[in-house]
Amino acid sequence: MTSFRHTNDAHRDCWELLPWVANERIDPRDLRRIEPHLHSCTACQAELVAQSRLRQLIRADEPVVIAPQASLQKLLQRLAAEQTHITPSATQRGGERRMPASAPRWLAVAAAMQAIVIVALLWALWLQSQALLTAPRYTTLTSPASLPPHPAVHVVFRNEVTIGEITSILRNLDARIVAGPNIGGVYTIQSAKSEPTASQIASLLAGLRQDERVLLSEPVEGTAAR
Amino acid sequence: MVSAPPSTSNAVTNVSDEHELELIAAIAAQDRTAFKELYLIYHRRLARFLMRMTSRHELIEEVINDTLWTVWQKAGEFRGASRVSTWIVGIAYRRALKSLRHASSHTSLGDGEPASADEYSRDEERQWIERALSELPFEQRCALELCYLLGHSCEEIAEIMNCPVNTVKTRMFHAREKLRRLLPRLAGASEP
Ligand SMILES: [Zn+2]
């Protein structure tokens, strides 16, 4: 137990962070800070080897796996039982028509994308290059290439808007997501009506622009109501 | 001797993160197919983690199902501020803490004995590490498993265990010191 010396701050700093060097999840800033010490300290180097070995052993140790199917069935029964007893709060929230099940997948991806994107900058990019931003980043849902020839609107929500809120905003405006978000967090939405009129699209746009949770909304060129 | 972390692991993490985020969004819209997929991913992950904490399979099942039940109910409120795995493992950790503390009147909290005697025959090194891990206090063992078994960052472990980052480092520090005493072979033959 002679490897740890309290007197050396750089050593302690490095020593404490070695598990995350070993599991490759250390913050890059932390790594930059401790790297000079790590390169010069044989005690820290030996500890890193020891911790990497411990990690290997723990990961290689596969306990008896419990078969999941029986538990899953139990839980699905519990969900089914819950759905037959709709609580008052659920009625309040879910008074409106439910979104197509596939749509909110995009909403969740958006939540992550929005966190790392400077919306205004990317909106500017969109203005410069429609093609770049309408290129589908994810292809599990309707891609822009298969959009029906109905008027479409591009929307960007504020970062702090939750998936639930986006769902609710669109429900209230009788709109649905048909594509997106792309890399810039831009959704393409359409009216849920099969043949929306120009005035319905105008009121959809007005509704979006009145909502302070919507950062930007623009009709998509070439899809205007006829 | 010192190797830099490979750059590929983050890319792999991002791909599965995106997929799990898609699943959460689908679950928010009550999509059961997505729920089943997420269940199977996390059943395996959480079972591995929880089996280190207790040998009682019925407790493990209960914690996993209660965790995924919460995920089903709260998916619509998930903001994506943290990784999906951090969110779900955090729910499981809190649930496990409650269950295991409650059950500790019957079995010890850090009950890390292998599930069956058959396991002992599989690998000597495994017994050796398993026995040493079972000697650790619950919080220290959790921190270690979250770091090495589930691959979480220091900040994520702090979020999961609802404690400051420095507490995570301290728990890991003590776990490592204790394991060094229990597992002198870990550091190699040259260590005293
Ligand atoms: Zn050092």
Q: Is residue A108 predicted with pLDDT exceeding 70?
A: no
pLDDT at A83: 72
Q: Is residue B136 predicted with pLDDT exceeding 60?
A: yes
Q: Does any domain span residue B77?
A: yes
Q: Judge: B152–A1 Cβ closer than 8 Å, yes or no.
A: no
Q: Who surrounds ion ligand 1 at CB < 5 A?
A: A 11, 41, 43-44
Question: Which residues of A are less than 8 Å from B115 in CB distance?
Answer: 63-64
What gap in Å lies between CA A123 and CA A110, rounded to an integer? Answer: 15
pLDDT at A219: 75
Of A16, A57, A111, the CB nearest to B125: A57
- Per-residue pLDDT, averaged over B132-144, amounts to 91
Q: Does any domain span residue B99?
A: yes
Q: Does any domain span residue B125?
A: yes
Number of structural domains in chain B? 1
Q: Judge: A25–B64 Cβ closer than 8 Å, yes or no.
A: no
Per the prediction, chain B carries an average pLDDT of 82
pLDDT in tens, A196-226: 777 888 888 888 888 877 766 777 766 654 4
Q: How many CB atoms lie within 10 A of CB B92?
A: 23
* Complex confidence, ipTM: 0.81
Query: A75: helix, coil or strand?
Result: helix
CA distance A34 to chain B (A): 12
Overall size of chain A counted in residues: 226
Q: How many CB atoms lie within 10 A of CB B101?
A: 11
Distance A20 CA to ligand 1 centre (A): 15
Which two tokens mark A161? 């808007």
- Per-residue pLDDT, averaged over B36-49, amounts to 94
Confidence of residue A72 (pLDDT cuts 50, 70, 90): very high
Give residue for tokens 């203005």: A127
Of A23, A72, A105, the CB nearest to B147: A23
- Per-residue pLDDT, averaged over B32-40, amounts to 95
Q: Is residue A99 predicted with pLDDT exceeding 60?
A: no
A164 versus B189: which is more confidently predicted? A164
Q: Judge: A75–B69 Cβ closer than 8 Å, yes or no.
A: yes
Distance A149 CA to ligand 1 centre (A): 65
User: Which of the residue ranges A1-15, A200-214, B59-73 has the most confident prediction, judged by mean pLDDT?
Assistant: B59-73
CATH code of residue B64: 1.20.140.160
What gap in Å lies between CA A8 and CA A38, rounded to an integer? Answer: 13
Give residue for tokens 């999509």: B31
pLDDT at B105: 43
What gap in Å lies between CA B97 and CA B110, rounded to an integer? Answer: 11
Q: Does any domain span residue B18?
A: no
Q: Does any domain span residue B86?
A: yes
Q: Is residue B95 predicted with pLDDT exceeding 50?
A: yes
A189 versus A100: which is more confidently predicted? A189
- Domains in chain A, CATH or no CATH each: 9-60 (no CATH), 147-219 (3.30.70.3220)
A189 touching B, CB under 8 A? Answer: no
Confidence of residue B170 (pLDDT cuts 50, 70, 90): very high
Distance A10 CA to ligand 1 centre (A): 7
Q: Which ranges constitute the DSSP H helices of A61-176? A: 69-83, 88-93, 103-115, 119-128, 130-134, 163-172
Q: Which region among A125-134, A216-225, B145-154 has the lowest average model confidence (pLDDT)?
A: A125-134
Confidence of residue A14 (pLDDT cuts 50, 70, 90): very high
Confidence of residue B13 (pLDDT cuts 50, 70, 90): low
What residue numbers bound the domain in which B92 lies? 41-189
Q: Which region among A70-74, A204-208, A218-222, B32-36 has the lowest average model confidence (pLDDT)?
A: A218-222
Q: Does any domain span residue B163?
A: yes
Q: Does any domain span residue B19?
A: no
| Nearest-10 Cα torsion for A114, A120, A122, A124 | 160
Distance A133 CA to ligand 1 centre (A): 48
Q: Does any domain span residue B162?
A: yes
Question: Which residues of B are less than 8 Å from A76 in CB distance?
Answer: 32, 36
Which residue from A196, A186, A80 is spatially nearest to A134, judged by alpha carbons?
A186
Question: Which residues of B are less than 8 Å from A49 in CB distance?
Answer: 1, 188
Task: Supply the DSSP symbol for A214.
Answer: E
Q: Judge: B2–A48 Cβ closer than 8 Å, yes or no.
A: yes
Q: Is residue B51 predicted with pLDDT exceeding 90?
A: no
Q: Judge: B21–A108 Cβ closer than 8 Å, yes or no.
A: yes
Q: Is residue A101 predicted with pLDDT exceeding 80?
A: no
What gap in Å lies between CA B192 and CA B184, rounded to an integer? Answer: 7
pTM score over 0.90: no
Distance A33 CA to ligand 1 centre (A): 13
Q: Is residue A185 predicted with pLDDT exceeding 80?
A: no
Which two tokens mark A142? 């309707």
Residues 6+ apart with CB under 8 A from A8: none
